[in-house]
Amino acid sequence: MPVAERFVSINGEGACAGKLAAFIRFAGCNLRCGYCDTMWANVPGAAAKGETPEQLAAWVRQTGVECVTLTGGEPVLQPLLPQLVELLLGEPGPCERGLRVEIETNGAADLGELAALRARIGDATPGVLSFTVDWKLPSSGMEQRMLPANFRLLDTRDTVKFVCGQGDLPRALEVARQLDLPGRVPVYLSPCFGDIEPARIVEFMQENQMTWATAQVQLHKVIWPDVERGV
């Protein structure tokens, strides 16, 4: 599998924000979001080290952390991802309750196989798998690529993330309602970094009584504003 980088940091996004996590970033993506902060990992021929699922699972074990984030680029494009996920879910984890494996995915890669794997494995493995799925909004330039079927596969273990740029907030609310997310899947609203004031997101939530949504700023960019890799 083409690994652009792997590192331990605190998770800066999603339901595990603030917790130590082992990150594996795969090279290559099927989208080109205008704001992408990891374009360096997406370009054809991006530097990547070939590693097997077994090697990656061994590295995760050696880190000693409980949370694992599989990201990219677009991790769901990797044909061996289900194999890696199955290995990770079978790991005992540092606290003997298994690993919390999170897949960060863009909404434009079919989640059917991974959702079926999760249903098949069920409670038989110690680990837990969750999907953090973006719905790309107009400012990304990629909204037409979203696969609504992906969002029907999600439940309370998962997260739908709306990265909001200028003018995107009303569309995020409309999509959340159309996809029947409130009360069914946790929803996070995150500012496209540097593009809109986070306070604008909070105001919008207040104006629209979005009690079901969570506002979130990318924590790692607050802590390490000028560092692009390895955090």
Ligand X SMILES: Nc1nc2[nH]cc(C(=O)O)c2c(=O)[nH]1
Contacts with ligand SAM, residue ranges (CB under 6 A): 29, 35-38, 71-72, 74, 104-106, 134, 161, 163, 190, 192-193, 218
Q: Which partner, ligand SF4, ligand X, ligand SAM, none, binds residue 161 by CB below 5 to 8 Å per kind?
A: ligand SAM
Any idea how long the chain is?
A: 231
Q: Which partner, ligand SF4, ligand SAM, ligand X, none, binds residue 192 by CB below 5 to 8 Å per kind?
A: ligand SAM
Q: In this structure, which amino acid lies at residue 31? A: L
Of 9, 106, 132, 139, the residue at the interface with ligand SF4 (CB under 6 A) is 106
| Contact residues for 207 (Cβ-Cβ < 8 A; gap 6+) | none
- Shortest separation between residue 136's beta carbon and ligand SF4, angstroms: 7
- Shortest separation between residue 203's beta carbon and ligand X, angstroms: 25
**Residues 51-80 close enough to bind ligand SF4 by CB under 6 A:** 72-74
Q: Which partner, ligand SAM, ligand SF4, ligand X, none, binds residue 32 by CB below 5 to 8 Å per kind?
A: ligand SF4
Angle between helix 198-207 and helix 169-178 axes, rounded to 10 deg? 50
Annotated binding site: 10-12, 25, 29, 33, 35-38, 71, 73
Q: Are strands 100-105 and 128-134 parallel, antiparallel or unpaired?
A: parallel
Question: With binding defined as CB under 6 A, does residue 159 bind ligand X?
Answer: no
> Which residues are registered as beta bridge partners of 131?
103
Question: With binding defined as CB under 6 A, does residue 36 bind ligand SF4?
Answer: yes
Which tokens belong to 47? 């530097």
As to burial, measured by CB atoms within 10 angstroms (0-12 exposed, 13-18 middle, 19+ buried), residue 30 is middle
- Shortest separation between residue 221's beta carbon and ligand SF4, angstroms: 14
Tell me how far apart the alpha carbons of residues 226 and 10 are, in angstroms, rounded to a whole number: 16
User: CA of 98: how far to CAs of 85, 199, 219, in Å?
Assistant: 12, 37, 25
Cβ neighbour number for residue 154 with a 10 Å cutoff: 21
Q: Which partner, ligand SAM, ligand X, ligand SF4, none, binds residue 193 by CB below 5 to 8 Å per kind?
A: ligand SAM
Which residues contact ligand SF4 (rule: CB under 6 A)? 29, 31-33, 36, 38, 42, 72-74, 106
